[in-house]
Structure 1
Amino acid sequence: MCLLFLFFSWFGYSQSIDNSNLRDFLKKHVSIEGFVNYEKLVRNKEDLQIIVDGFSKVTPNSSWSLNELKAYWINVYNINVLKLLSGYYPLKSIKYIDEPFKVEFINVNGIMVSLEYLETVIIKEMGDPRMYFALNNTCVSSPKLNRAPYIAESIDSELENSAKNFVNDTSKNYFSKTADEATLSPLFEWHSSEFIGDYELISFINKYSETKKISTTTKISYSSFDWNLNKENF
Structure 2
Amino acid sequence: MKNLPCLTTILFLLFSFNSCATFSSVGLDNQYIIDGNSHLTSTDNSTIKINHNTWNELLKKHVQNNGLVDYIGFSKDEAKLNDYLKMLSLNHPNSTWSKPEILAYYINLYNAATIKLIIENYPVKSIKDISRPWSKNRVLIGSEMISLNNIEHGILRKMNEPRIHFALNCASISCPKLLNEAFTADKIQQQLEQVTNEFINSKENNISISEAKISSIFKWYKNDFIVNEKKDLIGFINQYSKVKINSNATISYLDYNWNLNEKN
> TM-score, normalised on structure 2?
0.81
Q: Does 1:184 align with 2:184?
A: no
Q: Does 1:167 align with 2:200?
A: yes
Pair 1:37–1:116, CA change in 2 (3 A): same
Q: Does 1:70 align with 2:95?
A: no
CA contact (8 A) 1:4 1:122 kept: no
> TM-score, normalised on structure 1?
0.91
Counterpart Cα distance in 1 of 2:178 and 2:253: 22
Amino acid of the residue matched to residue 202 of structure 1? I
Pair 1:4–1:225, CA change in 2 (3 A): farther
Residue of structure 2 aligned with 1:5, choices 30, 38, 41: 30
Q: What corresponds to 2:253 in structure 1? A: 222
Q: Displacement of 1:2 after TM fit?
A: 4.2
Amino acid of the residue matched to residue 25 of structure 1? L
**Structure 1 unaligned residues grouped into runs of 5+:** none
Residue of structure 1 aligned with 2:85, choices 31, 49, 52: 52
Superposition RMSD in Å: 1.8
Q: Displacement of 1:48 after TM fit?
A: 1.4
Counterpart Cα distance in 1 of 2:29 and 2:216: 27
Q: Does 1:85 align with 2:85?
A: no
Q: Secondary structure at the match of 2:121?
A: coil
Counterpart Cα distance in 2 of 1:39 and 1:7: 32
Amino acid of the residue matched to residue 98 of structure 1? S
**Structure 2 unaligned residues grouped into runs of 5+:** 1-25, 35-45
CA contact (8 A) 2:227 2:236 kept: no
Q: Secondary structure at the match of 1:153?
A: coil
Report % sequence identity. Answer: 36
Counterpart Cα distance in 1 of 2:196 and 2:54: 26
Q: Displacement of 1:197 after TM fit?
A: 4.0
Q: Secondary structure at the match of 1:116?
A: helix
Q: Deviations over 1:108-163 (max 9, x none)?
A: 12111111111111011110110110011110000111111001111011101111
Counterpart Cα distance in 1 of 2:83 and 2:246: 48
Q: Aligned pair count?
A: 226
Counterpart Cα distance in 2 of 1:120 and 1:215: 30
Q: What corresponds to 1:202 in structure 2? A: 234
Counterpart Cα distance in 2 of 1:150 and 1:27: 12
CA contact (8 A) 1:14 1:61 kept: no
Q: Secondary structure at the match of 2:237?
A: helix
Counterpart Cα distance in 1 of 2:29 and 2:245: 36
